[in-house]
Structure 1
Amino acid sequence: MDGNDIPAGKCPVMHGGMTQMGETVTDWWPNALNFDILHQHDIKTKPLGTDYNYRKELEKLDVEALKDDLRKLMTDSQEWWPADWGSYVGMFARVAWHAAGSYRLSDGRGGGGTGNQRFAPLNSWPDNVNTDKGRRLLWPIKKKYGNKISWADLMILSGTIAYEVAGLKTFGFAFGREDIWHPEKDTYWGAEKEWLAPSDNRYDDVSDPSTMANPLAAVQMGLIYVNPEGVNGNPDPMKTAAQIRETFARMAMDDEETAALTAGGHTIGKSHGNGDAANLSPEPEAAGPEAQGMGWFNTKGRGVGRDTVVSGIEGAWTANPTKFDMGWFDMLFGYEWELTKSPAGANQWKPIDIREEDMPPDVEDPSIKTMPMMTDADMAMKVDPVYNEICQKFIADPEYFKDTFARAWFKLTHRDMGPKVRYIGPDVPAEDLIWQDPIPAGPTGYDVDAVKAKIADAGLSLTDMVNTAWDSARTYRGSDMRGGANGARIRLAPQKDWEGNEPERLARVLSVLEPIAAETGASIADVIVLAGNVGVEQAAKAAGYDVTVPFTPGRGDATDEMTDAESFDVLEPLADGFRNWLKEEYVVSPEEMLLDRAQLMGLTAGEMTCLMGGMRMMGTNYAGTKHGVFTDHVGALVPDFFTNLTDMSYSWVPVEGGTYEIRDRVSGDVKWTATRVDLVFGSNSILRAYAEVYAQDDNAEKFVNDFVKCWVKAMDADRFDV
């Protein structure tokens, strides 16, 4: 821009009108890009050192001793936090459940795989009341086993052991969750500014749960799933059933799994609402130093045992709350129910004409009988015809119910761990499950150089090769370790038909690469990646550098039978800034969507910048558009994207359609065109700093070498077997 092109702004000199200081850059400039999401889990925050390897530490773990200590904990260590009925099975089932239950399928974020329940905001969600007490009860065990067990694994294992102690034959357990060391504060949990704000804020139409805004799954800020009192706290089991179905689907659960989890989750333990929530101290993040990281203490009365306040709903679901049995079904379907209020004022349901033998004992005095209860979510299982039919099937076959719940619990607590190759430990189930995205082992004994030679002679263009490899790999998301090039699912439904994969171009390229795989004994997945490597090597050579892109064979080829096509729908890219593509206009800016994609792929801001510049120079834009291709040497891995972006002999002029023209300042001639995603690398101060590194006269070779490293990182992101 020249001076006349710059929009009018406020006077840069302060005249006393601004009285409130911003605390962060985004406070001052709300529309500025927030790069914190790319800086999550910086290695500098890890206290165990760069040489620490959790998988190796796990090899030293005495698993049976750990499990035995957890079994003892279920009834021991009750001096400062007494357990209901002398058992912590309900407590630890809830700790594990609420750690895992934040997972959502849409972007793979949340879940129990990182130990994030230790940090805000999750440690202070209203729905997580008193999980802080459970983690403190686990501390002596964590202290004892130290680096050999992560908090993430320990919390999930505690819930699995709780169910085992309660009498359930569990499906299995896998270690391998590695802890994070600071909050994932840039995960989007909703736009609300208050806990439990009405769920209408999350829906276009609250009566149609499918209109909940993505990527959210829980119905209100601070909840794991749905409001147990009903939609917005108003009891109506049919409306609650609709919300349950949508929310659990966004958790990757079908109706049968949902019904099993509801029944099995409420078979043990109780809800706590025998008191006034107004008497509770602040949540952990708001509590004073004397609370030592815990919150929600009752400031009046004992606040434990029968006087505990958690959800506000009061009572147990079954007559034997420490046993995993069919009691929930007996109670729900054996009685008619009516609305009532808990002592804390919460809406709940009570049975009509309850028999004394069906009443649960008091948590402190077993000679006292108490009134059982059901939440609106429980009642939904009875009134909804689909859920009711499933429950009747469980009632007719208790062993089928127990197996279904055990499998659903395993899925709930392992869904975000990624493929089975990441599982560690003696209790890993032998069975392959489709939600684990199984991939067979791939061949490794073929001649890699011979395959590359055949690819180079196959007549494919550089962009054909690079784009196909990139599109295959870009689906990877480190949030739940799904997607990626391994498995070559780009050739299967639904990926082969995704708009962003240019189906016609993809089919043409695969028709060339698949025969090469068959001839050489390589997997199609390896050949796709090798084709991309060949393209990168050609681009580097065109820039004057002979490089060999590192490659590790062994990717396998998945089949349709190994692929849950419906589950993979959520991995479809809606935008890919690296290929300058946007499916349609969104509320979120294209550059923000670029950051989100980069973070899911595990890239840093510097790696994102390097890859972007290289992809533009190789001409890999979607459908061959020229936006951002700031070079006269397309196909050469040169740093022209950066040198021309930072060249002040050009002006940058917005035109219709949301694009920009790059004009010579003297002649006014249009040299190139660009999108917002291109220009943000010059306009944003952080990204410009990275771009200037590669624009320097002495960093052309560094750019090539860095690009190769970043490319390999993207191609190998899902190689958990190496």
Structure 2
Amino acid sequence: MKDHAATQGACPFRGTRMGGALGSEPQLDHWWPNRLKVELLHQDPIQANGYGTHDDYAERFKSLDVEALKADVRAFLHTPVEWWPADYDNYGPQMVRMSWHSAGTYRIADGRGGSAQGMQRFAPINSWWDNGNTDKSRRLLWPIKQKYGAAVSWADLMMLAGTIALEDMGLPLTGFAFGRIDAWEPDRATYWGPEGWNGKRPGEVPAGPLEGHPNQMVTRTIRWEGDVEEEHYDLENPLAASHQALIYVDPEGPNGNGVPMDSARDIRETFSRMAMNDEETVALIAGGHAFGKSHGMTAPDEIGPAPEGAPMKAMGLGWQNPNGTGFAQYTMTNGIEGAWSPHPTTWDNTYLENLFKFEWEQTKSPAGSVQWKPRDPNAPRTPDAHVEGQMNELMMMTSDIALKEDPAYRAVCEKFLADFDYFTEAFSKAWYKLIHRDMGPTSRYLGPDVAKEEFLWQDPIPPVEHPLVGDAEVTELKEKILVTGLTVGQLVSVAWASASTYRDSDKRGGANGGRLRLAPQKDWEPNDPQTLARTLDVLERVRSEFTAPVSMADMIVIAGCAGVEKAARDAGIEVVVPFVPGRTDATQEMTDEEQMDFLKPVSDGFRNFHDARVGFSVAPEHLYLDRAHLLSLTAPEWTALAGGLRVLDVNWDGSRHGLFTDRPGVLTNDYFRVLTSMDYEWSPQDSREMMFDINDRATGETKFTATRCDLVFGANAQLRQVAEIYGADDGHARLVHDFVAAWHKVMMLDRYDVPEERKKVMSIC
């Protein structure tokens, strides 16, 4: 071989330009943008956790002196620092904005976003234009985080800072809960919109194939469908923000058009998708705008790149401003300049009083953004945030004027104007909901200040008030269930329908509460309501005749476990499916039907359900992956459950798609043996390639039919590797035990009342 001694010690990336080494080459997504990204199931791995693989935040939190932490936050609010001075010598409004913008990413369609993992620390959220200068807010908090270290998460501290700020400025609090667990890497699974992400100001043309399109319409028309002018429009699901890189809406009006009623339409659509009704929406906007100011003293094209694009010397801080000091009276954030109230650090009703007392005319900020000023030259003025003695005109945004012009919002405003105490309570409760909405059940809440009231949006579940069934009683119940005449498919289906409503994004759903018996779940099409009703009637009869008390929520899970055990036994393998009692039954009064309906699947590959009435823009297998991700499954768990559920005959409509066996209801590995066999040809039934015939190569006879959600485990390279394990001659027993482990995991996903060690069952891997 040629002697390379001359190159010893040289750069291993010789011949590449700076920054052109590892990761700069075209990636998989470049070459195959529509590929199934199975790796999303394995993001934020435990190995990335800086506190170690056995990290327990609830345990770490026990060492936290909560009162000392709150005292330090209060002191910080009134101790400005030179490198980023506080508006009005009070960091309170800035902290409220940081908290609001972290929690405000939540959307109810899929439960993603929100405050629970502190995702504002990572791209893309840390570099959205709407989050301008929140990087400074977190850096200001670092000395407090540094002091308390592992005892408090960033996610909790960010929410606490805004909440203590509100209290410090005069708002009575509904409460505060700790318990948010930090993520350790960016969220790569959440779909934030079709525009892609570039950190530019909303309305700017995204980079890529849309370059050159008219500036003002690109962002709106990509995620919105229909004619906005005729109100036949809709925002693409599951999105909630009206524009890319925004938390809620463009404060200047859609695409900066300055039209209040257009803004009102966007506000209602956006806030409702964030689980807020009209009263909560007005409370949050009017309450939040009682404090602080907006910043727009520098043209946006002069501002430096967002944190993810900032140079190394910036040390993670972005949006560098070249004008003046770059901060204080020169600050640029969203482009609008001014304050809403003469008392921007005091909780009062002057925001609404001024909004309704004066007529407002449209004007422009120094940065060129649309805003509004009072027509009355004698209107009160607000003190400048930094220049002592200077008084400025009051300011309103187009989104503020919208509250006055929209009839429904106006009625809420007038109610708040007439009763400030009611407004105070409404804002306090709406804030509590905003920052806790994605934390899940109250059993996950930590700390001494948790609200005593349990709210409907928290999906309350009654406490356990009866002795729990033991192993012998569970065995007896399984025997009684198996002689009722219910099939394995029916038993497995009822448990799966109950437990698989869980979504890890906001910790909602799951089997606890037994809400499968209640509206709206009992009427969901993928649950096959008629069959479900008959199955539940039989289980209720068994439960009522049993000698020991047991909830229907537990009965439903026991039924599924009995079905799985029988299916495995009929396949020649004896297993005991773990069961942990302790679920209770919620009532209809404890269930917000409208909010619960967002858990209804529009596509569920596990049961081969795909609502053809919905105009999907992505293939079913991608929605299947999304559902597996919401269930926090790994690729092997997803694969084992998919193949096992198919042969157990749980298709929602009783179809035989993917039922690659002549023994339905028996837990075999037949699904994987067929899927990986070259004895068959896979022929699409039409040009859409949604349905397939599986034909015998030798005879041409159609043996089976399948959907894309069936064939993906053979077509996708990563999933096929797992499918081949289960399809091998030694794969049957492994499949059964892996299926049982994954099944138990899903049944226990919402059991935050159970220690982690009791939730796990080892496979034979």
In which range does the TM-score fall when normalised by the shorter chain? over 0.9
Q: Contact 1:36–1:186 at 8 Å: present in 2 too?
A: no
Residue of 569, 581, 588 corresponding to 1:560: 588
Using the size of structure 2 for normalisation, the TM-score is: 0.90
In structure 2, the CA distance between the partners of 1:622 and 1:32, relative to structure 1 (3 Å rule), is: same
Name the residue aligned to 1:84: 87
1:554 is paired with a residue whose SS is coil
Name the residue aligned to 2:145: 142
Mean CA deviation greater in 194-203 or 521-530: 194-203
User: How far off is 1:287 after superposition?
Assistant: 0.3
Deviation digits for residues 670-707 of structure 1 (CA, Å, limit 9, x no counterpart): 22221111111111100100101111222321111110
User: How far off is 1:354 after superposition?
Assistant: 4.1
User: How far off is 1:628 after superposition?
Assistant: 1.3
Name the residue aligned to 1:386: 408
Quote the Cα distance in structure 2 between the aligned partners of 1:209 and 1:428. 43
Quote the Cα distance in structure 1 between the aligned partners of 2:356 and 2:684. 65
User: How far off is 1:77 after superposition?
Assistant: 4.4
Mean CA deviation greater in 309-318 or 451-460: 451-460
In structure 2, the CA distance between the partners of 1:225 and 1:143, relative to structure 1 (3 Å rule), is: same
2:94 is paired with a residue whose SS is helix
Quote the Cα distance in structure 2 between the aligned partners of 1:696 and 1:37. 26
Name the residue aligned to 2:758: none
Quote the Cα distance in structure 1 between the aligned partners of 2:581 and 2:46. 28
Residue of 464, 467, 474 corresponding to 2:493: 467
Listed as ranges, the gaps of 5+ residues in structure 1 are 1-20
Quote the Cα distance in structure 2 between the aligned partners of 1:459 and 1:126. 60
1:458 counterpart = 2:488: no
Quote the Cα distance in structure 2 between the aligned partners of 1:199 and 1:644. 46
In structure 2, the CA distance between the partners of 1:98 and 1:209, relative to structure 1 (3 Å rule), is: farther
Q: Contact 1:283–1:295 at 8 Å: present in 2 too?
A: yes
Using the size of structure 1 for normalisation, the TM-score is: 0.95
Mean CA deviation greater in 527-536 or 510-519: 510-519
1:328 counterpart = 2:351: yes
Q: Contact 1:77–1:137 at 8 Å: present in 2 too?
A: no
2:601 is paired with a residue whose SS is coil
Name the residue aligned to 1:577: 605
1:203 counterpart = 2:239: no
Deviation digits for residues 344-394 of structure 1 (CA, Å, limit 9, x no counterpart): 1111000122437x2111112342111110001111111112111111111
Q: Contact 1:661–1:670 at 8 Å: present in 2 too?
A: yes
- Percent pairwise identity: 52
1:270 counterpart = 2:290: no
Q: Contact 1:22–1:28 at 8 Å: present in 2 too?
A: no
Deviation digits for residues 278-318 of structure 1 (CA, Å, limit 9, x no counterpart): 22111100000001111011123212111111111000100
Q: Contact 2:656–2:705 at 8 Å: present in 1 too?
A: yes
| Pairs aligned (count) | 701
Quote the Cα distance in structure 2 between the aligned partners of 1:351 and 1:253. 30
Mean CA deviation greater in 61-70 or 385-394: 385-394
Pairs within 5 Å for 1:310-709: 310-355=333-378, 358-442=380-464, 443-446=466-469, 447-520=473-546, 521-584=549-612, 586-656=616-686, 658-709=690-741
What is the one-letter code of the residue matched to 2:36? L
Q: Contact 1:209–1:242 at 8 Å: present in 2 too?
A: no
What is the one-letter code of the residue matched to 2:701? D
Residue of 260, 283, 291 corresponding to 2:314: 291
Quote the Cα distance in structure 2 between the aligned partners of 1:320 and 1:312. 21
Name the residue aligned to 1:4: none
Pairs within 5 Å for 1:117-128: 117-128=120-131
1:623 is paired with a residue whose SS is coil
What is the one-letter code of the residue matched to 1:663? N
What is the one-letter code of the residue matched to 2:624? L
Deviation digits for residues 536-563 of structure 1 (CA, Å, limit 9, x no counterpart): 0001101111111111101111111000
1:204 is paired with a residue whose SS is strand
Q: Contact 1:577–1:594 at 8 Å: present in 2 too?
A: yes
In structure 2, the CA distance between the partners of 1:669 and 1:587, relative to structure 1 (3 Å rule), is: same
Quote the Cα distance in structure 1 between the aligned partners of 2:577 and 2:399. 54
Quote the Cα distance in structure 1 between the aligned partners of 2:463 and 2:724. 43
What is the one-letter code of the residue matched to 1:499? E
What is the one-letter code of the residue matched to 1:687? L
Name the residue aligned to 1:74: 77
What is the one-letter code of the residue matched to 1:530? I
Q: Contact 2:329–2:387 at 8 Å: present in 1 too?
A: no
Quote the Cα distance in structure 1 between the aligned partners of 2:725 and 2:596. 38
RMSD (Å) for aligned C-alpha atoms: 1.4
Quote the Cα distance in structure 2 between the aligned partners of 1:288 and 1:639. 54
User: How far off is 1:646 after superposition?
Assistant: 1.0
Listed as ranges, the gaps of 5+ residues in structure 2 are 1-23, 204-218, 755-765
Name the residue aligned to 2:761: none
Q: Contact 1:121–1:185 at 8 Å: present in 2 too?
A: no
1:232 is paired with a residue whose SS is helix
User: How far off is 1:22 after superposition?
Assistant: 6.8
Deviation digits for residues 187-226 of structure 1 (CA, Å, limit 9, x no counterpart): 1111114542431222113343861111111111001111
2:703 is paired with a residue whose SS is strand
Quote the Cα distance in structure 2 between the aligned partners of 1:572 and 1:209. 24
User: How far off is 1:655 after superposition?
Assistant: 2.0
What is the one-letter code of the residue matched to 2:495? A
Q: Contact 2:42–2:634 at 8 Å: present in 1 too?
A: yes
User: How far off is 1:185 after superposition?
Assistant: 2.3
In structure 2, the CA distance between the partners of 1:715 and 1:84, relative to structure 1 (3 Å rule), is: same
Name the residue aligned to 1:17: none
What is the one-letter code of the residue matched to 1:346? S
Quote the Cα distance in structure 2 between the aligned partners of 1:319 and 1:110. 34
Mean CA deviation greater in 46-55 or 204-213: 204-213
Name the residue aligned to 2:209: none
Name the residue aligned to 2:163: 160
User: How far off is 1:94 after superposition?
Assistant: 0.4
Deviation digits for residues 589-619 of structure 1 (CA, Å, limit 9, x no counterpart): 1111110110011111110000011011112
Quote the Cα distance in structure 1 between the aligned partners of 2:468 and 2:36. 46
